[in-house]
C-alpha cells in the first residue's frame, strides 16, 4: 500500500516540523534537565491547533484526519517528546473520547476549551494495583441519585499537575466486574481532588506525571460518559486509538535519532574520511533507515484504517509495538554513531534514547500489545483486512 499525502497533509507536516525546529528545539535540553513544564510551548501548540487536531470545527478543533495528526506527532516527537506526549493525551484520549462517546452537552461544554489549549486534559485509568489489568479498578464511584461520590487513587497520570479536566475510570458495581466500570468527567478544581508530587522520570522529563487522589469527590450524574457500565469499553476503544499516537511518537523519536546520526556521520571524520564512508557506520545507517521505513508504513496504515472506519485494533497494536522497539533499538545505535559525543546532552541523542523507553511502556507495554495481537490472530483476524475483503469478493 502506497500512502501519497495530500497537499493539506503535507502542509500540516511542514508546519509541525517548522514549529518543532524553531519553537521546541531551543531550550529543550534545559527543560529536560530541570524537569521544567513547557508552559509557553504548550500555549503555542494550542494556538496553532495541535491540541485539538481531530476535533470538529464546530467545537473549535481543526477537523483533521488521523493521518494529519500522526504526521504532526511524528515531527514534534523528533525534537521534544514531553510536548508530544502532552499533545497525544489531549488529542487521542481526552478530546477523541469525549467527542466520540460524550453527550452533546459534554462536547459543547468541554471540547472548545480542550481543543484550543485553554484547558489540558488527563486520562486516569492506571492505579497502583491496576496498571496493565484495567479490569481491577479500586477507585469507586457510589451512585447517590443525582451525583456520584468518587474515591480512589490514580497513578502515572500524564498532564496530572496541569490538567483542568480528568477522564476517570471507576468501579460503580463490583459484582459486575468490568461491566460495572464507568468513566466520569471530573474537573480538577472539584473539592476532594488532590495532586501528588511530580514523578522524577528517566525520560519525557518536562511533561508532568503525577499520582492523583480523589476523596469524596462529588461528580454530577451528567458527567458520566455513556450508559451505565460503558467505562471499560470506553477505555479500551480510546486506548486503541491512543496507540496510534504513541506509535507516531516512537516513529518520530527513531526518525529524529536517525537524522542526527546521519548528519553527524557526514561531518565527523576518522582515518581520513567521514565516518559515514566507513562500512561499519554505513551499515548501521542502512539498518536504521530500513526499519524506520517499515515502522512508518505500519503507523501510517493504522491511521489510514482508522480514517476509513475499518477495524484498526490489531494494526494499532502492531504499529505501537514495532515502532517502540525500533525507537529503542535505533536511538541506542544513534548514540553509538556519535561515540563519546552521544553520551553528552548537547547532541540530543542521549535524551531521545531515554525518551524512547517510555514508548514501550505506556498505552500498554509491548507484552500487552502481543496479547492483543495474538488474541486477534486466534480469532481468525487477518492482518490485511482490505486484502481479505477483496478475496471474499472474488469468492476466495
Here the cell at position 101 is 462517546
Q: Which residues pair with 224 in a beta bridge?
A: 184
The DSSP string of 333-352 is HHHHHHGGGGGSGGGSHHHH
Q: Which residue has the cell 508546519?
A: 15
User: Residue 17 to residues 20, 146, 279, 290: CA-CA distances in angstroms?
Assistant: 5, 48, 31, 22
Which stretch of DSSP H or E encloses residue 385? helix 385-393
The angle at the Cα of 87, spanning 201 to 335, to the nearest 5 degrees, equals 50
What is the rounded CA–CA span in Å between residue 299 and residue 320? 8
* Number of neighbours of residue 76 by Cβ within 10 angstroms: 29
Contacts 24+ apart (CB under 8 A), 292-297: 292/251, 292/254, 292/255, 292/258, 292/326, 292/330, 294/322, 294/326, 295/247, 295/250, 295/251, 295/254, 295/319, 295/322, 295/323, 295/326, 296/251, 296/255, 297/1, 297/3
Measured between alpha carbons, how far is 323 from 248 in angstroms, rounded to an integer?
8
Alpha-carbon distance 24 to 22, whole Å? 6
Grid cell for residue 184:
466520569
- Given a contact cutoff of 8 angstroms between Cβ atoms, the answer to whether 12 and 248 are in contact is no
Catalytic residue set: 363
Which candidate, 138, 191, 128, 211, places its Cα nearest to that of 169?
138
Longest dimension (CA), the chain: 79
Amino acid at each position: 500500500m502506497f500512502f501519497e499525502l495530500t497537499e493539506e497533509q503535507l502542509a500540516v507536516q511542514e508546519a509541525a516540523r517548522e514549529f518543532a525546529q524553531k519553537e521546541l528545539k531551543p531550550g529543550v535540553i534545559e527543560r529536560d534537565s530541570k524537569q521544567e513544564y513547557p508552559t509557553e510551548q504548550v500555549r503555542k501548540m494550542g494556538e496553532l491547533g495541535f491540541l485539538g487536531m481531530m476535533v470538529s470545527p464546530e467545537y473549535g478543533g481543526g477537523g483533521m484526519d488521523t493521518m494529519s495528526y500522526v504526521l504532526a506527532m511524528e515531527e514534534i516527537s523528533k525534537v521534544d517528546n514531553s510536548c508530544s506526549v502532552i499533545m497525544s493525551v489531549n488529542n487521542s484520549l481526552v478530546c477523541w473520547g469525549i467527542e466520540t462517546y460524550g453527550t452533546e452537552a459534554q462536547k459543547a461544554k468541554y471540547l472548545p476549551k480542550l481543543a484550543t489549549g485553554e484547558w489540558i486534559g488527563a486520562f486516569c485509568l492506571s492505579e497502583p494495583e491496576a496498571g496493565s489489568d484495567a479490569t481491577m479498578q479500586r477507585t469507586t464511584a457510589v451512585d447517590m441519585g443525582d451525583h456520584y461520590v468518587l474515591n480512589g487513587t490514580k497513578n502515572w497520570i500524564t498532564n496530572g499537575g496541569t490538567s483542568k479536566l480528568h477522564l476517570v475510570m471507576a468501579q460503580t458495581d463490583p459484582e459486575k466486574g468490568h461491566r460495572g466500570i464507568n468513566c466520569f468527567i471530573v474537573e480538577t478544581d472539584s473539592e476532594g481532588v488532590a495532586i501528588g508530587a511530580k514523578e522524577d522520570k528517566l525520560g519525557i522529563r518536562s511533561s508532568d506525571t503525577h499520582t492523583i487522589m480523589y476523596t469524596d469527590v462529588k461528580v454530577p450524574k451528567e458527567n458520566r460518559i455513556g450508559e451505565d457500565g460503558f467505562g471499560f469499553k470506553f477505555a479500551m476503544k480510546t486506548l486503541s486509538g491512543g496507540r496510534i499516537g504513541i506509535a507516531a511518537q516512537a516513529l518520530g523519536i527513531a526518525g529524529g535519532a536517525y537524522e542526527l546520526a546521519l548528519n553527524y556521520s557526514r561531518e565527523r571524520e576518522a582515518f581520513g574520511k567521514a565516518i559515514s564512508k566507513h562500512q561499519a557506520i554505513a551499515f548501521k545507517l542502512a539498518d536504521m533507515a530500513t526499519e524506520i521505513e517499515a515502522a512508518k508504513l505500519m503507523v501510517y496504515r493504522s491511521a489510514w484504517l482508522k480514517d476509513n472506519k475499518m477495524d484498526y485494533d490489531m494494526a494499532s497494536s502492531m504499529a505501537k509495538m514495532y515502532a517502540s522497539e525500533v525507537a529503542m533499538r535505533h536511538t541506542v545505535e544513534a548514540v553509538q554513531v556519535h561515540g563519546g559525543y552521544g553520551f553528552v546532552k548537547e547532541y540530543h541523542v542521549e535524551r531521545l534514547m531515554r525518551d524512547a523507553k517510555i514508548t514501550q511502556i505506556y498505552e500498554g507495554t509491548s507484552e500487552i500489545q502481543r496479547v492483543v495481537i495474538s488474541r486477534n490472530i486466534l480469532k481468525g483476524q487477518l492482518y490485511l483486512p482490505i486484502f481479505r475483503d477483496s478475496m471474499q469478493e472474488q469468492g476466495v
